[in-house]
Structure 1
Amino acid sequence: MNVYLIGAVVVLWYMLYRYRRRRLYELAALIPTGPEKIPFVGALQHSYNIMNNIIDLIQKYTTYTQNNGGFAKLWVGPLLYVVMTNPEDVEFILKNCLEKADVIKFMRNIVGNAGIFAPVSIWTRRRKMLIPTFSPKIINSFMDIIISQSEELAMQLSHHKVVGTGRFAAWEFISAYTLDSVCETALGIRINYLQNPNNAFLKATTNLFALITDRMLQVWFWPDLIYNCTSRSTEFYENLKIVYGLTDEIIQRKKEELKDVDVHLDTDHANSAQINIVGQSPKKVRCFLEHLILLSKNSGGFTDVELREEVITFLLAGTDTSSIAICNTLTLLAKYPKIQEKVYQEIVDVLGELNRPLEKDDLKEFKYLERVIKESLRLFPPAPLVIRKVIEETTMPTGVTLPADTGVIISVWGISRDKKYWGPDADCFDPDRFLPDRKTGLFIPFSSGPRNCIGYQYALMSVKMALIAVLRRYRVIGEEENGPAPTIDTKFNIMMKAKDNYQLALEAR
């Protein structure tokens, strides 16, 4: 009897559940279903490596959406997600739907409510406080640090004897450069990763990325009750403790250094920012953390926990994004030597002699290199997806209505390759498509709208300087591409990066 009663209760509960969601199912039925089931949805019937196949799925769904009105739906358990590629609808979502989707919550286990992942109610205040910290003047004040780090990168490539000795994994060196640059500009500390590859902090951040990606792509680990019973959870929190510990220590040290500093921040200088210390001469602000601490004094802003969250976000987001952009660009230049030589000739024209140091005013002269970087970001965006959530029922500009609480997956990779907007050669590597008189499609490697990447100017500056430092000294050698459409065998690990860690060779010029 009890069995029948339980069965009846379950049936009634399910019927009520379906009835309350009837509008969602009604609208979802009008959206085309994707080309195939995602491996991590539903039962555990798929045994192949999700990390190595998610990029293929992104490509399949992108092609399908482009041929079916720009939309395709998929179900993640009871959650509805819609893959979107139509530029008009994408821009509407990025401007008007600012809440992040549920899957982003796992990143909050690392960075808390930092601006990039925070709910809108928290993000609004954080973003307002962060904007002055990422002004062009303040970013330019860190240019000397990045120039020094890029020169160090070129020197280390020679010091480690990878020049003229065949193929090597470029990722190790490029990621060391971005980590060193970000740590010095964000925290004001030099870590010299290539001289200290076993640095506990850096190993912990790498492990955290891998663990969080693993959890995001395996839906059976989403419930905390299940995940917290696994060895992965133990490993995750051990690494998180390391990252939090060092960051908190640095924050307290910086706050002690700045406790007698007047809160007035002088940003009138074109390429610098200064602080006024009581009874002393103005002093240049050395890192983003100092800016955040001082701005917090001005506005009663960030607590110690909030400072930690924002700094860690900058460390994590600023390293992999720039590293992948640099490595992808070097890979593409190895595939197309003629384009590489045009870049090198521009470097020679701007800088002249090999040993002439790069200066702040030089960067704006590298017009062709800038187009090469943009084309690299278009074809191989480090972040191939942007994920948002529609809070209430919303009608898109093209007429499709999304139900309330729908997750929206914006395929940056697909939008950048849509032949309807980029032309029949959309898959081809052509830096000149970014000439001022050429019409382009929607270009959003750093997202767009109010929640775009606040540090994109810093990232582009870091990428450009690293490429100049390497290419003015070395010729990048790789397997040349047979046609104009390049391929890079990639995997998904929060970002989209090459499976082989970017195997390249260098020859001295």
Structure 2
Amino acid sequence: MGSCGDDVAGGWFWGRILGAQFLLATGDYSRLLMLLRQYAVHEVNAILWALLIIVTALLLRRVWWLARFWVRGSRLPGPPLNALSRNKGCHAHDTFTAFLGQAHKEYGSVVRVWLGPTQLLVSVKDPELIHHLLTQAKDRLPLTGKAFQLAFGKSSLFVSSFAQAQNRRISLERQLNGKLLERVHSVALKVVDRIKQWVDVGPSGWELDCKSASQHMAFSILGATLFGDGFLVWPAAREFEEQLMVIAKECSFWATYNVLPLWNKGFHRYKAICLRLQGLTEQMIQEGKKQHPNLKKSYNKPNCENFDAGIAAGYEGTSGEFVEDLIAGILSSTDSSDHLNLSEEIRGDIMGMMFHGCLTTTGIISGVLTKLSQHPKVQDKVYQEIVSICGKTAVPSVTDVQKMHFLLATIYESARLLPAGPLLQRCSLKHDVKLTKGITVPAGAILAVPIQLVQMDACKWGDDADIFHPDRFLKPKTLNSDSCELKGGDSQKATRLPEKEDMNRVENSKAQSTRLDFEDPDANASFLPFGSGSRVCVGKKFAIVEMTALLASMLQHYE
């Protein structure tokens, strides 16, 4: 049958060719023109039919995916489709968190919420399921990636696909936990000295806005750590900070558009800010190269074949050479042959680090300062610990800060009650996520963890879960068999507080046998200020050292 059809089609084609040659030879141009028109119409129809078949196949594939998505999503427990639209203003962070809290009370630890006909959000509150979810769902939301692409480029470290970002995450984690970690303590102390020059907290001065001051300190520390002390006096640093915060506020809004809104003036303004931010980042890179002349080869070459992974060895031994180390990390990755625009990749990674690092640490530092202002007794206890270890005038050293267990517990408790964001969101782009035997989340759904609900769950943290209690992260250093130990995975033990007489002994740092020590809650699946699983924050250790050094140096001067 197929051979017969081919013969017919071939005969029609060659018949038209021979007919055209005959008409051309006889000079019958009118019939020749008619024949050519028929041939053109036939070819156009064939092309249109082919396009129609292709478009129909794509639409049927999309309809099949949506039908499968709807069926699997509808099997999950949750409110009806129009439940979210009935709650006016529910898209605000606090209101949406309250909506999820009520939904979890009615439907259990796993709740599905339809955000739209093709957008499904699945909220998970159970700690065991959360750990399982964050291990399986490794991707970021693709819509977020589109919004960030204007600012951070296509090759940013924070792309949706985990497979594309995995090697870069490993390289970045190695840098943050290496030379940059050694540098961040001293940089934090310098930033505090600069802050004290223009801030006078007290009756004779002006009040300090916790959020703006925390933002500026976090931005300054991160920038100076990455690019050297020259960043602190860089004239365009303030503009960079302002533009970065504008993007932080607007990127989520523009992420809601599946098609770029070129007709919107606000979008063109956002695009101009992104371009300006890229230009400022390029200036920072050039300033960093001037401070560190060990970089012998330019990263602006369009083809990376001349670069070798061994170039990384040439950067070792220098101080503060983040730009050089970043180049070496990119070139030594397994996909280095694909880096056709190394300049864009470096710029995107730096902007992404400044963006995510600044927002996370700003939220935690601001939370600590807010909670201390609301709890003077806790602030006094932190102050007494700092003074007892390093005095009132001595600069806190790395060793001194490591001994400040109550300060660290205060930071963690603030991060528990005031997380940097309301939701921890993940996505599995290609595969379904099976949470339990009867619960499977379809691929493409938004997987969310309501951090504030999880970290204030009375079932996991006790009846005082909503109370500011830094002591919950402390335990006596010497324990007998009858003592209460703090275990992150045990809900009852994790919420029992030390005895009052033991709590008072933290003020005496020399009493090593009775002092309360900080217990890292990493084992507690209900504590997620830095995320968990495959996409856990690679700068967690860096951020903790940064914040403890900053707060120790700052609070030392304010009793």
Shift of 1:122: 1.2
Please tell me the residue identity of whatever aligns with 1:355: T
In the aligned structure 2, how far is the partner of 1:285 from the partner of 1:24?
Answer: 52
Gaps of 5+ in 2: 1-57, 298-308, 476-484, 489-523
CA RMSD after TM alignment: 3.2
CA contact (8 A) 2:184 2:545 kept: no
Q: Does residue 449 of structure 2 align to residue 404 of structure 1?
A: no
Please tell me the residue identity of whatever aligns with 1:382: A
Decide which of 383, 400, 424 is 2:463's aligned counterpart.
424
**In structure 2, what is the equivalent of residue 293 of structure 1?**
327
In the aligned structure 1, how far is the partner of 2:221 from the partner of 2:163?
Answer: 32
SS in 2 for 1:21: helix
Q: Does residue 537 of structure 2 align to residue 453 of structure 1?
A: yes
In the aligned structure 2, how far is the partner of 1:210 from the partner of 1:330?
Answer: 22
In the aligned structure 1, how far is the partner of 2:82 from the partner of 2:363?
Answer: 29
**Which stretch of structure 1 is more off in the superposition, 296-305 or 74-83?**
296-305
Please tell me the residue identity of whatever aligns with 1:180: S
Superposition map of 1:52-451 within 5 A: 53-77=92-116, 78-105=118-145, 106-112=147-153, 113-136=155-178, 138-158=180-200, 164-165=204-205, 167-188=207-228, 190-192=230-232, 199-216=238-255, 219=256, 222-225=257-260, 227-252=261-286, 254=288, 257-260=293-296, 275=315, 282=317, 284-296=318-330, 301=336, 303-352=342-391, 354-390=392-428, 391-397=430-436, 399-436=438-475, 437-440=485-488, 441=524, 442-451=526-535
SS in 2 for 1:103: helix
- Taking a change above 3 Å as real, the CA distance of residues 296 and 98 of structure 1, as seen in their structure-2 partners, is closer
Identity of aligned residues (%): 21
CA contact (8 A) 1:186 1:314 kept: no
**In structure 2, what is the equivalent of residue 478 of structure 1?**
none
**In structure 1, what is the equivalent of residue 547 of structure 2?**
463
SS in 2 for 1:121: helix
What TM-score do the two structures reach when normalised by structure 2? 0.70
CA contact (8 A) 1:66 1:418 kept: no
In the aligned structure 2, how far is the partner of 1:243 from the partner of 1:307?
Answer: 14
Q: Does residue 76 of structure 2 align to residue 31 of structure 1?
A: yes
Please tell me the residue identity of whatever aligns with 2:543: A
- Taking a change above 3 Å as real, the CA distance of residues 450 and 17 of structure 1, as seen in their structure-2 partners, is closer
Shift of 1:197: 9.0
Which protein has the bigger strand share?
1
CA contact (8 A) 1:102 1:407 kept: no
CA contact (8 A) 2:368 2:414 kept: yes
CA contact (8 A) 2:150 2:271 kept: no
In the aligned structure 1, how far is the partner of 2:101 from the partner of 2:178?
Answer: 35
- Taking a change above 3 Å as real, the CA distance of residues 394 and 326 of structure 1, as seen in their structure-2 partners, is closer
Q: Map Cα deviations across residues 226-270 of structure 1 (whole Å, 9 max, x no partner).
A: x2211111111111111111212333454573333896778xxxx
- Taking a change above 3 Å as real, the CA distance of residues 84 and 35 of structure 1, as seen in their structure-2 partners, is farther
In the aligned structure 1, how far is the partner of 2:156 from the partner of 2:363?
Answer: 23
SS in 1 for 2:172: helix
**In structure 2, what is the equivalent of residue 3 of structure 1?**
none
In the aligned structure 2, how far is the partner of 1:434 from the partner of 1:338?
Answer: 17
Could you say which structure has the greater relative contact order, defined with CA pairs below 8 angstroms and 6 or more residues apart? 1
Q: Map Cα deviations across residues 115-170 of structure 1 (whole Å, 9 max, x no partner).
A: 23441231122123223212255412332122211232234322xx6664464423
SS in 2 for 1:171: helix
Q: Over alpha carbons, which structure has the higher Rg? A: 2
Shift of 1:453: 0.8
